Amino acid sequence: MFKPPIKIFNTAGPCIPADHYMVPVLSRLPIIDYFLDHGSYFTLHAPRQSGKTTLLYALTDDINARGQSYALYCSLELLEGITDTDTALTLVVSQILKALNDSEIEAFKKLSSNYGPGPSSRFDAKILDILRYLSVNLDKDLVVFFDDVDSLSDKPLIPFLRQIHFGFNTRFRSRNTKFPKSMALVGMRHLVARFIQSSPDSASISASNILSFIKESLTLPDFNQNDIKVLCSQHALASGQIFNPSAINRIWYWSEGQPWLVNALTFKVVTEFLNYDYSKSITDELVEQAAEAITQGGYPHIDYLMEQSKELRVKRVMKTVIFDNSSFLDDVLDDDKRHVLDLGLIKKVNRTYQPANPLFVSAIFNAFPEKSQAPPTVGN
């Protein structure tokens, strides 16, 4: 029995630098630095298990360490399923206060303990009031990262965005209307597309106005082939275990850089197949075995995608992309395509839609029992 190295390949939750092998996080989307430096508000969306929260943690720590601004990370995950607007926005305020208390920044803790709702305690000013309160009373500019924004139901989402829009537009009017310098609204779904689709046709102009504070809608890219080499080399340096070049090529083939898959494949080989025996090299045959095992399910992320694939609109899109080889999906509703894109099951390359990676294709193949042939080859 060999002693495992200090770090492991992470397949559950945000990465912790001291515990997990990691691709340099801040280099994955360098344009964010430009947006933060220039006081922009933006959205960031990417599928589950792609590194969004890890990125936000790193950005928060980096900004606070530099000391020129304050950064606050706030998750809205607990708002899932709450449809009453006043209840939802009250809980948003509670989550902001909790984030302040959880921080190691004393100025945050002090403002949290002193905060009391102002005279405008209605739901249509709760978010505006607390963000103005923080911005006015801090001695440096504030950057806010709202994670899991798609946990907000459609009904409370509108006043939530409307208050941010109003605060953004009036933030330079006076000292008392100061608002966060920069803000990111982050989640799995494309927020702008979701908001417009969920609004009635008569509200489309209003929707465009509310969202005008958003500089750009960003998405978090998957790993590239060099990222995978960097990740594998970290383990090789820590353990002495060798990755054959062909094994790294097969990790890329099966995952096409999807971060969870990259880590899941390597974790399965190192821990389960080789049992931390670092004297044995990691070969392409072992990666093939790992890919086959992962496609059988038993992993929450894969099981979630397989279950989602049984939904009629997801099934319609996937059948078109995988079996009919119709890249443009002309007969599929845009809303359905966007939903499957947000799930991470397909990706858009130029004007065409393609399966996200061969492993996801193999994993969801059982959702199409009427097809007797093997899933087609996808990727390189």
Domains and CATH numbers, the chain: 25-219 (3.40.50.300), 225-295 (1.10.8), 300-367 (1.10.10)
Taking only the tens place, the pLDDT of each residue in 37-62 is 999 999 999 999 999 999 999 999 99
Exposure string over 250-285, b if 16+ CB within 10 A, otherwise e: bbbbbbbbbbbbbbbbbbbbbeebbeeebebebbbe
Task: Provide the pLDDT for residue 211.
Answer: 84
Give burial (CB, 10 Å; 0-12/13-18/19+) of 141: middle
**Cα gap 128→159, rounded to integer Å:** 10
Residue range 16-31: mean pLDDT, rounded: 93
**Cα gap 133→116, rounded to integer Å:** 10
State yes or no: pLDDT of 202 exceeds 50. no
Taking only the tens place, the pLDDT of each residue in 281-332 is 999 999 999 999 998 878 899 989 888 888 888 888 888 888 766 555 555 5
Token pair 């459609």 in the structure block, residue: 154
Task: Provide the pLDDT for residue 310.
Answer: 86
Q: Which of 134, 119, 130, 45 is nearest to 92 (CA)?
A: 130
pTM of the model: 0.90
Taking only the tens place, the pLDDT of each residue in 110-155 is 999 988 765 555 667 899 999 999 999 999 999 999 999 999 998 8
For 135, the token pair is 């911005």
State yes or no: pLDDT of 194 exceeds 90. no
- Provide the sign of the torsion angle of the four alpha carbons 37, 39, 42, 44, taken in this order: positive
Which residues fall within 8 angstroms of residue 149, CB to CB, at 6 or more apart? 43, 76, 185, 186, 187, 191
Task: Provide the pLDDT for residue 291.
Answer: 95
Task: Provide the pLDDT for residue 137.
Answer: 96
State yes or no: pLDDT of 86 exceeds 80. yes
Task: Provide the pLDDT for residue 349.
Answer: 83
Residue 324 vs residue 73, higher pLDDT: 73
